[in-house]
Every structure is written in C-alpha cells, then in structure tokens.
Structure 1
C-alpha cells in the first residue's frame, strides 16, 4: 500500500484514548477530532470522515500492531453503514488470522456500526 495522502496527513492518525489487546485482537477507542485534515472539503454542508481514511487507519493500526508490512493484496469485504462525523468517539476493533494473512476490522460505538471489512495481506511477514 503506497502512501498517497496529501502532505501533512501521511501519519495523521486519530488520538487513541485507550486500547486492549490479545494475541489475535486489538481494540482501540479513538477520538475523531474535527481538526483532522481529512475533513477538509468532505463535505461543506456536513463534514464526514472519508471511507478511504477509515480503511487506511484500520490497515495502519492493524499492520503495526500485528507486525505485518503495509502490503494489501485484496479488499475482500468492505461495508460502510453509517457516517463518521467530527468530534466522535469510536471503537476500532481489529483481528487477524495469521495463517490466512487476513485482517478484519470494524468501527462501532455501542450498538452503532459505522464500517467493517476484511483485508487479505500481500507480502510475507517482516
């Protein structure tokens, strides 16, 4: 996965308020701050966190935590259920299947589901 984000946004991840991890899962409580540059121009009437940003964050947090290189082979499942708005707290849940080289993610808060997906990773582990 090549980093094509505008300058200044390349490493702009949301603040992590808390985290819990096991060998196969990672749960992050994130604060989606309105000042993040990803909201600029998306959209003027109501700022919305772009889906590609949500996907990027899941890949970056997941690959970093589980020790994978940033190399996505295929997006197997990708679903956006609700809009993620500025100044929102959200839980990002990540899990992986090392044998199948798959990373699964979901953004939620309580009963509210925002986005989810499954990603097949490419190159061999670092």
Structure 2
C-alpha cells in the first residue's frame, strides 16, 4: 500500500472564528495531487481542490468530511504546483451549508468557489 501524499506545506491559519475560516497554504510539486494531471503541465484537479476544502473544514470548523451534496461549484482558473493559496470557508448553520472561495494568496485571483452541505461532526 502506498502512502497518501496529498500533502500541503506552509499551512497558516489567518483567522478561524464565528464559523469562518481563512487559511493559507501551498501544495508542493511532489504532491500526488498532481500525478497524471498532466505529466508535462501539472495542474491541481477539481477533485483535489474540493478535497482540500473538506479537509480544512473538518480540521478547523469541525464539519463532517463526507459531504452528502455539493450545491454549487465553479472552477475559474488553473492551479499550478507551489502556488500560494488562500482558502476561505464560511458556515451557514441555518441552511446546513458552507460556502468557500479558493484564491491566490498574493494576487487574490479566484481559482474556485462553491457551496456544499456541511453537517457538524457529532461526538
């Protein structure tokens, strides 16, 4: 069995309070997120972007990692290895959803955004 190398580096929480998260990080070129997507021009696939959203939502906002329904997702630009990313997630408990924006930490260029069901973890 191979090790899961869906690693990130330079993870830094900007803020996490009141159901809102802002976290910066990079995905190294060595990450298996980039395997086969594409050998000569590596890109972070959409499924990898959403994996990061649910990973950080679970870690910092204590939502369930397993998402029952994605309400909306939009991918507007390609993410290359070593890009400094900013993920912002906002919980909407009255709707049992969360919304997210994934952008460039330096330029603020938008990479993806969306919303999904976000149930809280039970003890």
CA contact (8 A) 1:51 1:80 kept: yes
1:113 aligns with 2:110: yes
What is the DSSP-based 3-state SS (H/G/I as helix, E as strand, rest coil) of the residue aligned with 1:73? Answer: coil
TM-score by length of 1: 0.84
Q: Structure 2: how far apart are the matches of 1:57 and 1:13?
A: 10
1:68 aligns with 2:40: no
In structure 2, the partner of 1:89 is 84
CA contact (8 A) 1:13 1:57 kept: no
Aligned residue-pair number: 119
Runs of 4+ in 1 over 3 A off after TM superposition: none
Mean CA deviation greater in 62-71 or 44-53: 62-71
1:98 aligns with 2:57: no
Gaps of 5+ in 2: none
Change over 3 Å in CA distance of 1:118–1:7 after alignment to 2: farther
In structure 2, the partner of 1:32 is 27
What is the DSSP-based 3-state SS (H/G/I as helix, E as strand, rest coil) of the residue aligned with 2:53? Answer: helix
Q: How big is the shift at 1:69?
A: 2.1
1:44 aligns with 2:21: no
What is the DSSP-based 3-state SS (H/G/I as helix, E as strand, rest coil) of the residue aligned with 2:98? Answer: strand
Q: Structure 2: how far apart are the matches of 1:108 and 1:69?
A: 23
Q: Deviations over 1:16-61 (max 9, x none)?
A: 4321212121111111211111111110220001110110110111
Aligned pairs for 1:4-23 within 5 A? 7-9=2-4, 12-19=6-13, 20-23=15-18
